[in-house]
Structure 1
Amino acid sequence: MKVLVTGAGGTLGRAVLPRLRADGFDVRATSRRPRHDPGADWAVVDLASGAGLDEAVAGVDAVLHLASLPNSRHTHRVDVLGTRRLALAAGRAGVGHLVYVSIVGVDRVSLPYYRHKLAAEQVVSAGPVPWTVLRATQFPPFLDRLLRASSRLGPVIGDPAVLAQPVDQHEVAGRLAERLAVGPLSGIEEYAGPQVLRFDEAVRAWQSARGSRRPLLPVRFPGRLGRALREGGLTTTASPTGTRTWADHLDDTYGRIGAR
């Protein structure tokens, strides 16, 4: 099976490409700029304009759509209109399966970026190509970067009761390979890590792994958004789940095991 992977240079894309190749898929990857990689077939595609799309989808059996431009003034143009351009091009090319990667909570958490992701899901489900949507929870590197950003002023700032369920991106890559092998679901699947953590638990583990003594400065997120985050809007009870925990990521990243 030949698979086109959009957004192949991102966190998930870098995990997906070797996994698909190891599983025997013939992979074509896309980026917005030319890449010189003798070990990969790269196509230049601009979702914002549609440039390169028809050439990229030609001759492929499935499309794995990872590309996204979060929190930008161009997010709608890329994530929603670009997804529509991709779906239409794939339909014209006779592609048999379009897999779109979204986020757990896009239908429950009122973040602007999530509204774009939800709209893109709707584009995929209404499009001309048999489809699957896989919603994943946050990747550990994202949570790691979030904690670094929230502690730039000294203490780690955040709502201690917010719930998260980080999932290893390599395990998501494996699940996507399985979904491609099975074929279109014509529905939405959620995939998450094995452990639901409060923000303060995640912070304590992160501090322990890094040998940090920075305190947690609790700030309760207000309104409907805060309530949704505290009530588990970013988590799921769906199964199966991944097996790797936040502590596993911390051990790999910092060489020490965070508090479990």
Structure 2
Amino acid sequence: MSEEMTMADVVLVTGASGVLGREVVARLVARGVAVRALSRRARGGADGVEWVVGDLAKGEGVGAAVAGVRAVVHCASDIRHPKNDLPGLRHLLAAARAAGVEHVVNISIVGVDRIPYPYYRIKWQGERLLAESGLGWTNLRATQFPALLTTAFGALAKLPVLLVPAGTACQPVDQGEVAERLVELALAAPAGRVPDLGGPQVLGARELAEGWLRATGRRKRVVEVRLPGKAAAAYRAGEHTTAHADGRRTWAEYLAATVPGPARP
């Protein structure tokens, strides 16, 4: 793509009903961009959004989804069944080439090339597939979403104590800010791998957990556990954080805005 997109161009968002995909769709619509949203299940229409049904892993409906599209923002990922991610990306890239799509924007994770965690390895393989696809492409790596951290803490809080990895910090970046950056990239020319996007603070796992407990009104002891293995060592070394702060919304601000109120211990 030699020039920036116009508002008449259509952008396809995969994973459009997910945590990040919803934010991307909303921001594209707010800018007046024509949006096609891909989901595995039929969904109700909304102003500025054309919902289409398809299954990336099976390759079903993908050709129709990319027809007439100039750019794709690829947010689809299945952390519960990550083996589906690479077949899904292959189907998407093949269909995009056949349809003449000019730009594919991919979201990835900071540290995928340095942390030997299976899901990260798959994301890294996906980055290489994209770079070798022959399509115009942009790849953005981001740090952890606060929504995912709150989900993890909610699950861990079912135990008598709240276990967190010792010596490990995170750099939460608001998913809305990541979505805004993806939209900016999708509306511009392909840029290859762009600078990583990190949150405004690097906070220890204990500090993150204690902040979540206060926000939810829970009283529970936080216990740090030193995890074995190369992946855990890479996390302790900060390989999943950036050397700079880009985001604006802090962990405390996110909790204040999204946690509904104190819960029973």
What TM-score do the two structures reach when normalised by structure 1?
A: 0.93
Counterpart amino acid of residue 93 in structure 1: A
Matches within 5 A, 1:106-255: 106-238=112-244, 241-254=246-259
- Determine the C-alpha separation between the residues in 2 that align with 1:64 and 1:43: 15
CA distance in 1 between partners of 2:114 and 2:125 (Å): 13
Identify the residue that residue 27 of structure 1 maps to in structure 2: 35
- Partners of 1:185 and 1:154 in 2: how far apart? 48
Amino acid aligned to 1:54: G
Query: Which sits farther off after the overlay, 56-65 or 205-214?
Result: 205-214
Distance 2:247 2:230 in 1: 29
- Residues 58-117 of structure 1: CA deviation (Å, up to 9, x unaligned): 111100001111132xx22x2112101111111111111000111111111111111111
Distance 1:238 1:97 in 2: 27
Contact kept in structure 2, 1:21 and 1:27, CA below 8 Å: yes
Task: Quote the offset at 1:146 in angstroms.
Answer: 0.8
Q: Deviations over 1:12-46 (max 9, x none)?
A: 01111110111121100000122222432011111
Residues 172-227 of structure 1: CA distance to partner in whole angstroms, max 9, x if unpaired? 11111111122211224311111001101111211221222200122111121221
Q: Distance in 2 between matches of 1:29 and 1:130?
A: 20
Q: 1:41 aligns with which of 28, 50, 58?
A: 50
**Consecutive aligned runs of 4 or more in structure 1 exceeding 4 Å deviation:** none
The separation in 2 between residues aligned to 1:159 and 1:53, in whole angstroms, is: 40
Size of the aligned set, in residue pairs, is 253
Name the structure 1 match of 2:91: 85
1:250/1:256 contact within 8 Å kept? no
> Partners in 2 of 1:226 and 1:34 — Cα distance?
39
Letter in 2 for 1:184: P
Question: What percent identity do the matched residue pairs reach?
Answer: 45
Name the residue aligned to 1:10.
18
Query: What is the CA RMSD across the aligned residues, in angstroms?
Result: 1.6
The alignment's TM-score, normalised by the length of structure 2, stands at 0.91
Contact 2:108 2:123 in 1 (8 A): yes
Shift in Å, 1:129: 1.0
Contact 1:88 1:128 in 2 (8 A): no
The gaps in structure 2 that reach 5 residues or longer are 1-8
Q: Which residue of 1 aligns with 2:61?
A: 52
Distance 1:93 1:238, change over 3 A: farther
| C-alpha distance in structure 2 between counterparts of 1:207 and 1:190, whole Å | 29
Q: Which segment is superposed worse, 10-19 or 203-212?
A: 203-212
Cα distance in 1 between the residues matched to 2:197 and 2:94 = 27
With 32-41 and 217-226 compared, the bigger mean Cα shift is at 32-41
Letter in 2 for 1:252: A
